[in-house]
Each structure stands twice: as C-alpha cells, then as structure tokens.
Amino acid sequence: METCMTDHAPPRADDATPTLPVTLHVCLTCRIPGAEPEAEGAPRAGRLLHDALAAAMADDPAVRVVGVECLSNCSRGCTVALSGAGRWTYVVGALDPAVSPEAVRDGALRYAAAPDGLVPWRERPEAFRKGVVARVPAL
C-alpha cells in the first residue's frame, strides 16, 4: 500500500495534451490471491483484465494497452504498470478483472493527462489509491 498520502503534483498547465501516448502494461499471468485456480485452458485473471482493458480503451489514443508476463507483483495480482516518456512510472496491484477495468481506465486517462504522470492522490480512483505498489521517477 502506498504510504505517502500527500499531493506531490506541481501545478499543471491547463489543457496540456501529451504528444506521446503512455503505456499501460497489464500482467497476463496474474491470478487473484486466494482464488481457486482457473480451469485447465481457462484464461488467468490477468488475461481477463488485459482483454477487458484493451476493449474498453480501444478508442483512447492517449494510452496503449500492452500485455506482459509478470511485473514481479505476483502476490498482489492483478497488476498493471503505467509509464511514459518524462513521467513517473506507477505499478498498481490488487486489481480484480471483474470490478477494476473502469477504475484502471480512469486512472490511466488521468495519468495520460498529467504531463509528469503525477496525479494528485485525491484525484486517483480508489483502486489506485489503495493498490499502488511503487512509483519510479522518470529518467
């Protein structure tokens, strides 16, 4: 759980539109901790989350949805990561494909709208406030 509860975001330029899309990596191999294993051949929870997000965000050019195998947050799946040039990177876990896609979409669009990737804590969807695992500064 993220322990820093303060807003670190500097003032944003009005209507700043990023010129490069941000990337939402979605772990395809995550399972929900404590859940029964999926039936043989059935998709894992991470795959379900990825597919739901890819469909929900197909018309959102500011965010690319990219599947990836393991983001090293396996005990707190499902997990996604948001990154982009010149932005902080966020890893967010404890997402449930049955309830989280709209919250992840909302968080990703807010992230894409923030030039440095810093979305004020109060403006983040609850799933992001509770599920942030790490944030990493831009290079």
CB of 64 to ligand FES, least distance (A): 19
Q: Which residues bind ligand FES (CB under 6 A)?
A: 27, 29-30, 46, 70-74, 77, 79
Smallest gap from Cβ 69 to ligand FES, in A, equals 7
With respect to ligand FES, which residue has the nearer C-beta, 81 or 112? Answer: 81
103 vs 133, beta carbon nearer ligand FES? 133
Q: Which residues lie below 8 Å from residue 15, measured CB to CB, with a gap of 6+?
A: none
Identify the CA nearest to 136 among candidates 94, 93, 82. 82
Q: CB 79 → ligand FES: shortest distance, Å? A: 4
Q: Identify the CA nearest to 25 among candidates 45, 1, 54, 2.
A: 54
User: For residues 9 and 74, which CB has a smaller minimum distance to ligand FES in the complex?
Assistant: 74
